[in-house]
Amino acid sequence: MSRYDGASASFHEMWRDLEPLGRNAGSGGYRRYAWSEADVECRAWFRAQAEGRGLAYEVDRNGNQWAWLGDPEAQDAVVTGSHLDSVPDGGAFDGPLGVVSSFAALDELRGRGVEFGKPLAIVNFGDEEGARFGLACVGSRLSAGQLGVEQARRLTDADGISLPQAMERAGYDPTAIGPDPERLARIGAFVELHVEQGRALDLSGDQVGIASAIWPHGRWRFDFRGEANHAGTTRLVDRRDPMLSYAETVLAARREAHLAGAVATFGKISVEPNGVNAIPSLVRGWLDSRAADQATLDTVVTGIEKAAREYADTHGVELDIVRESFTPVVEFEHALRDEIARILQGASDRLEVPVLGTGAGHDAGILSGSVPTAMLFVRNPTGVSHSPAEYAAEDDCVAGVIALADVLEGLTRR
């Protein structure tokens, strides 16, 4: 019997309970959109985990869920957690791995008989992926004052349901959404464990790594407006077809990103009237672009915008570009990162724990402006993420739980 069988059993039991929630039988992927029925089920699961462990459960003004061991009002709390919502047809690990590992790490620490010198909390941040309302990290952005209350109130989903309406329908009170500086001021350190969304750990042969930085990233909406007309009777020269300028812009995005060593993706599109035999009147495409530094990202996005305007002109199409969200580069706090590295190195026979940057956004990145934050990554053997094929091996998940437990033990003692 290994000394980590307890952590492994607790992880498994939670994983088994959470796994079916919001899973689409056809695709095998998760559709846990913020405030949807599936999200409500995941939230009920979180609450049951908290209460089952005798933790003080609360929901903050922005709908983020908290489970407290120790006094929630005390200063210098150590907080861990992640999110439970998903992208369309997302994988099982992005978000839930961090939440499940947090509860399992607490179980491990209780098994070790650790006496906590500081309050400890587990959090589930609402709407991290932004799949429903188009803006990522809504829960943490609101709390950190990085999203205006009026702007949040105006967010709507594809069916025209506003964020406050969606919260209300899910049984959460949206009246007080907004900055929560007192709560954040009580947090001494936030550590988010996450599945790696790349293959750096697989290539280095490590189960767990520490985050160094998050690339600056943003989302831009491109509205190409042309003229709806008959697909069979309109001569090619008479058309004002926005699909053409959109298609050329997609290729330009790829080219600009390639030249700059960045990434650019059009992963979502909506077409009006969306008929097979009609030239579209509107093609709306969303660009997601990210780069290692701000100047590179600016160059890429400016290049794509310029190309898009030229293509729009060529086809007699109008173009509006709106930046819907932007997250600047995040460099995780060095002191906390170094402390975590020391804790992890001290707890194993490893000389070094790999430190990795990432192009993925996280609540830890949003909070880093208000609170010392850090992230742990767990190996992903294929690097695939935001897909039903996302995966992490059982042993690596348990290694993540143990690493998180070691970190929480070290941080609550300091």
Least CB distance to ligand GLV at residue 288 (A)? 7
11 vs 215, which CB is nearer to ligand GLV? 215
77 vs 144, which CB is nearer to ligand GLV? 144
Residues 6 or more apart whose Cβ sits within 8 Å of residue 312: 224, 242, 245, 318, 319
Least CB distance to ligand GLV at residue 385 (A)? 8
242 vs 361, which CB is nearer to ligand GLV? 361
Q: How far apart are CA 247 and CA 313, in angstroms?
A: 14
Task: Determine contact, residues 207/378, Cβ cutoff 8 Å.
Answer: yes
Choose from Mn ion, ligand GLV, none: what does 189 bind? Cβ within 5-8 Å by kind: none
Half-sphere exposure (CA, 13 Å, Cβ side) for 122? 32
**Which residues sit at the interface with Mn ion, rule CB under 5 A?**
94-95
Least CB distance to Mn ion at residue 385 (A)? 7
Q: How far apart are CA 242 and CA 25, in angstroms?
A: 35
Cα–chain center distance at 396: 21
- Reduced 3-state DSSP string for 378-401: ECCCCCCCCCCCCCCCHHHHHHHH
Choose from Mn ion, ligand GLV, none: what does 95 bind? Cβ within 5-8 Å by kind: Mn ion
Least CB distance to ligand GLV at residue 306 (A)? 25
**Which residues sit at the interface with ligand GLV, rule CB under 6 A?**
129, 136, 360-361
358 vs 412, which CB is nearer to Mn ion? 358
Q: How far apart are CA 153 and CA 122, in angstroms?
A: 27
114 vs 384, which CB is nearer to ligand GLV? 384
For residue 273, is the peptide bond before it cis, meaning its omega torsion is within 30 degrees of 0? yes
94 vs 206, which CB is nearer to Mn ion? 94
129 vs 406, which CB is nearer to ligand GLV? 129
Choose from ligand GLV, Mn ion, none: what does 198 bind? Cβ within 5-8 Å by kind: none
Q: Pick from 252, 256, 312, 321: which is nearest to 285 by CA?
A: 321
Task: Determine contact, residues 24/30, Cβ cutoff 8 Å.
Answer: yes
Residues 6 or more apart whose Cβ sits within 8 Å of residue 56: 50, 67, 68, 69, 72
Least CB distance to ligand GLV at residue 371 (A)? 19
Q: 């954040």: which residue's tokens?
A: 184
Least CB distance to ligand GLV at residue 214 (A)? 8
Least CB distance to Mn ion at residue 91 (A)? 9
